[in-house]
A and B are shown apart, each in its own frame.
Chain A
Amino acid sequence: MRSILECENLSKYYGTTKALDSITLSIPQGRITGLLGPNGSGKTTLIKICNDLLTPTKGKIRIGGFEPGVETKKIVSYLPEKTYLNNWMKVSELINFFKDFYTDFNTDKAYDMLSKLKIDANTRLKTLSKGTKEKVQLILVMSREAKLYLLDEPIGGVDPAARDYILETIIKNYSENASVIISTHLISDIERVLDDVIFLKDGQVILSKTVDEVRDESGKSIDALFREVFRC
């Protein structure tokens, strides 16, 4: 299986803090991977490095063969932990904005998802609730036909019904050439849709397996295993 993302001894230090400590990873094409770990374990740091928002202190990272930069931004669709969209813009304007920016943006798909989630494209972002804003942002990200989707906490702020729809959207959009990396704390909600899980702890990979391997070997769900490994 060809891999879309590869890290080799990747490290990121903030002063003396090791946010990422020599991570070696390979994410194959066509897989949905859960990036799981407690707060401060390095999930967001890793995702930010993938998006060229942080530069690694040491080590190598390649996405589709390229270092993070202009080339990788064409194939990576990124949902950040915080919203960066302009509040004064209408949803329809945001869609045009994304269409201008990304050649792989599928407008029909975006409008289809908006209508499924009953969001009016003529409303301005600032008049929407926090959860609805998050839905809009996720719709924009999932409407791209990217090679790699990097979703940082995509379901944290939305209600369970919308959560189900979002997971369904991820399954539906799954294609054999696209991979999805989801970082989240809400493990029990997403573990059915994952192929693989990666546990991060103090900037290190402590487990990297398929979901069914974990269940087979431990007789536990990912959620239960997580609670055991990271017991406070």
Chain B
Amino acid sequence: MPWELKPDRPIYTQLIEQIELKICSGVYPLGSKLPSVRDLAQEASVNPNTMQRALSKLEENGLLYTHRTSGRYVTEDVKMVQKVKDRLAHELIQEFLQNMKRLGFTEKEIMSIIAKMTGGADNA
């Protein structure tokens, strides 16, 4: 999964989002060791200080933790990751709904399109 950074927003917030995404999607599994700051920075071609800042924030939020000598790890707390997943899902759907409303669809119409596309049984 490549690192995608948009030009109009702070880099470190985007790094936070992308690392969250990588944790949720299993690129960095629960309890696994994260690459070093320097390696991550190089991978994303960003400044190591910026990467450090993003990782510190994630640590503050509890998604990562530091093992005193051996590096940084992904949390083993399934509930916490689920919470992040829920939040990301919420954000994605909100964005989708906004775009659909801009196109002029009502919520009901949106729901029926989704049902059709996913082969939803209840509306068929």
Q: For chain A, give the interface size range.
A: 20 to 34
Q: What 1/0 flags go to B40-56 for Cβ under 8 Å of A?
A: 01100111111001000
Q: Report yes or no: A172 in contact with B42, Cβ–Cβ below 8 A.
A: yes
Does residue B9 face the partner (Cβ distance < 8 Å to A)? yes
- Most chain A CB within a 10 A radius of its CB, from B7, B12, B13: B7
| Smallest CB gap from B51: residue in A | A171
Interface residues of A in 181-232 (CB under 8 A from B): 188, 192-195, 211-212, 215-216, 219-221, 223-224
Does residue B11 face the partner (Cβ distance < 8 Å to A)? yes
- If the complex has contacts A171-B48, A174-B48, A195-B49, are A212 and B11 also in contact, measured as CB distance less than 8 A? yes
| Chain B positions within 8 Å of A193 at CB level | 45-47
Q: Report yes or no: B7 in contact with A31, Cβ–Cβ below 8 A.
A: no
| Chain A positions within 8 Å of B9 at CB level | 215-216, 219
How far, in angstroms, from A62 to B38 measured CA to CA in the complex? 30
Q: Count A/B pairs, Cβ under 8 Å.
A: 58
Q: Report yes or no: A223 in contact with B7, Cβ–Cβ below 8 A.
A: yes
Q: What 1/0 flags go to B80-121 for Cβ under 8 Å of A?
A: 000000000000000000000000000000000000000000
Does residue B60 face the partner (Cβ distance < 8 Å to A)? no
Chain B interface, number of residues (Cβ within 8 angstroms): 18
Q: Report yes or no: B50 in contact with A221, Cβ–Cβ below 8 A.
A: no
How far, in angstroms, from A164 to B41 measured CA to CA in the complex? 13
Does residue A168 face the partner (Cβ distance < 8 Å to B)? yes
Contact of A30 among B12, B49, B50 (CB under 8 A): B49
| Chain B positions within 8 Å of A223 at CB level | 7
Q: Report yes or no: B11 in contact with A168, Cβ–Cβ below 8 A.
A: no
Q: Report yes or no: B8 in contact with A171, Cβ–Cβ below 8 A.
A: no
- If the complex has contacts A220-B8, A221-B8, are A192 and B42 also in contact, measured as CB distance less than 8 A? no
Does residue B34 face the partner (Cβ distance < 8 Å to A)? no
Q: Report yes or no: A216 in contact with B10, Cβ–Cβ below 8 A.
A: yes
Q: Report yes or no: B12 in contact with A212, Cβ–Cβ below 8 A.
A: yes
Q: Report yes or no: B45 in contact with A171, Cβ–Cβ below 8 A.
A: yes
| Chain A positions within 8 Å of B42 at CB level | 168, 171-172
Does residue A27 face the partner (Cβ distance < 8 Å to B)? no
Q: Report yes or no: A192 in contact with B11, Cβ–Cβ below 8 A.
A: yes
| Smallest CB gap from A172: residue in B | B42
| Chain B positions within 8 Å of A220 at CB level | 7-8
Q: What 1/0 flags go to A165-184 for Cβ under 8 Å of B?
A: 00110011010000000000
> Which A residues are within 8 Å of any B CB, using their own CB?
30-32, 164, 167-168, 171-172, 174, 188, 192-195, 211-212, 215-216, 219-221, 223-224
Apart from A171-B47, A192-B5: 15 A-B pairs, beta carbons within 8 A: A30-B49, A164-B45, A168-B42, A168-B45, A171-B48, A172-B38, A188-B7, A192-B46, A193-B47, A212-B13, A212-B53, A219-B8, A221-B8, A224-B7, A224-B8
A-B contact list, 24 entries, CB within 8 Å: A168-B42, A171-B38, A171-B47, A171-B48, A172-B38, A172-B42, A174-B38, A174-B47, A188-B7, A192-B5, A192-B46, A193-B47, A195-B47, A195-B50, A211-B11, A212-B11, A212-B13, A212-B53, A215-B8, A215-B9, A215-B11, A216-B9, A221-B8, A223-B7
Q: Pick the 9 closest A-B CB pairs, nearest first.
A: A221-B7, A212-B10, A215-B10, A216-B10, A192-B46, A193-B47, A195-B49, A174-B48, A219-B8
